Amino acid sequence: MARLNAKQITAKLAVLSEWTKSGGVIQRTFAFADFVQAMRFVDKVAAEAERVQHHPDIMVRYSKVTLALSTHDVGGISEKDFDFATCADALFAASAK
């Protein structure tokens, strides 16, 4: 797995419109109706992170969950981060149903 360059990151972020680059990570904040729903989402993210062995930084602020992704093994942002971002988006979409 290789670290992506700025041009590659910009192109991938164009597809994941809710995600942004902040320093050496990509991040997104997900909003929920309340704390319980936010924590259910965190549980799903944690299970997926364990399954794929790629663990995001997670910040919870009552009904908002921010995920920050980078690949420590390559010292920056990699394809693995975008794969996990896509999965997190799908988990969020499924939680809205």
pLDDT for the residue 17: 85
DSSP string, 28-71: EEEE-SSHHHHHHHHHHHHHHHHHHT---EEEEETTEEEEEE-B
Tokens of 96: 């809205």
pLDDT digits over 25-48, tens only? 999 999 999 999 999 999 999 999
CATH class of 6-95: alpha beta
- Can you tell me the mean pLDDT for 7-32? 96
**Secondary structure of residue 31 in the 3-state scheme:** strand
79 has a pLDDT exceeding 80: yes
| DSSP code for 11 | H
User: In the chain, where are the structural domains located?
Assistant: 6-95
Q: Which helix (H) or strand (E) holds 21?
A: strand 20-22
- Can you tell me the mean pLDDT for 71-81? 95
